[in-house]
Structure 1
Amino acid sequence: MQRTYTFIVLTFIIMMSVNAQELSKQDLPYYQIPEAPDSFTAGTVAARTIDALGFRYYWATEGLQPKDLEYKPNKEGRSTGETVDHIYGLSKMILKTTSLKIDEDKNQKLTFKEKRKKTLENFKKASDILKNATDLKEHELVFNEEFKLPFWNAINGPIADAIWHSGQIVVMRRSSGNPMTKGVNVLMGTKK
């Protein structure tokens, strides 16, 4: 009787732990790529590009440890943590392109988890806005009143750059002894 009770309690604890892990995965966007839109428009294609970026960034940064964040391939290069900071800045630039508004946090000192969460949320907000965009001419890359660039520059600038740097994180974490989780399928946008 006692063994049966112990087994049931342990099984319950394991199930609750798995459920808690599943809930925490749902707290952040891009555990999986969202459903594809029904139609191809300039806005939905741009949004899907950002969704692909979000998915790659999610898995590139999932489970990073302090030693990974400190890893630096050489004296001249950025550390993984500095690369995360750079992608966070790019995510704010991408969001500003779509909404012209971002949460200013210049003086806040964010933890890695907070930066990761905000980065993923910025990608998701930008994607959601672009899915409904009728004309990408409205979404300029604005630096100030005198210096604005068309959305084309957002694609080859901060969006492509963030994809590039997400790949660098994957390589650097492998070098620091913490390779990316197995089972991530970037073609399908899923995790087994």
Structure 2
Amino acid sequence: MSLLFITTAIKAQEKLPYDQIPKMEENYSAQNTVARMIDGLGFRYYWSTKGLRAEDLAYQPMGEGRNCQETIEHLYDLSNMMLRLTQTDFKQIIEKEKMTFVEMRKQTLSNFQAFSNRIQASKNLSEFTVQKDGDVSIPFFNLINGPIADAIWHSGQVASYRRSSGKPINIKINHFTGTLRE
């Protein structure tokens, strides 16, 4: 019993990426600009999902559509799409169907970080243009207005859901600087 408690306590203390936006040198290359968008997404996702309770995850606005948990699963899928479309080799620790909310949150944050690192390390964003069946070309721009923009949208949706379910995000978050005010 005490071993389980210690393991749980260690996992709870594990530092996840994006509690703040990482520092970046002031170099406005295309790669750094896109990486910064991803880091901003990671920051927003981190804080919109931090400390969610079962009732927050079950929250669904009136009408049809995804509940909070389903939206978080969609964000996980989008993070994997970003990795796949940029051929970023990054291991998924656990199969999606077996993940708890905490594990999925951690993996999604790690996926965003791996994607940002891959973009920053690239020489030219055009290297991420995807050829499909030798005929169709998917330009990198489609990643920006597709899964990246969609993930930013849905992170805001999760923040809205948690506010509606009675657990608003931390008021000390500064989205402008990507930090937590003291």
TM-score, structure 2 normalization: 0.85
| In the alignment, structure 1 residue 63 sits paired with structure 2 residue 51 | yes
**Measured at CA, do residues 71 and 44 of structure 1 come closer, stay the same or move farther in structure 2, by a change above 3 Å?**
same
CA offsets, 1:30-77, max 9 Å, x none?
Answer: 000000233111111110000000000000000100100000002412
Q: In 2, are the aligned partners of 1:99 and 1:126 still within 8 Å (CA)?
A: no
| Matched residue type, 2:39 | D
**Are residue 136 (structure 1) and residue 125 (structure 2) matched?**
yes
- TM-score (norm. length: structure 1): 0.81
In structure 2, stretches of 5+ residues that fail to align are 1-8
Partner residue in 1 for 2:4: none
What do you get for the CA RMSD once the two structures are aligned?
A: 2.2
Residue correspondence of structure 1 range 33-182 to structure 2 within 5 A? 33-103=21-91, 108-141=97-130, 147-182=136-171
- Provide the C-alpha distance between the structure 2 equivalents of 1:142 and 1:50, rounded to a whole number of angstroms: 23
Whether contact under 8 Å (1:92, 1:102) holds in the other structure is no
Identity %: 45
Deviation at 1:172, TM superposition (A): 0.6
The residue identity in structure 2 corresponding to 1:80 is C
Q: Report the secondary structure of 1:138's partner residue.
A: helix
Task: From the CA coordinates, give the structure whose radius of gyration is larger.
Answer: 1
Cα distance 1:146–1:112, how it changes in 2: closer, same or farther (>3 A)? farther
- In structure 2, the partner of 1:3 is none
Moved >2 Å (runs of 4+): 97-108, 140-148
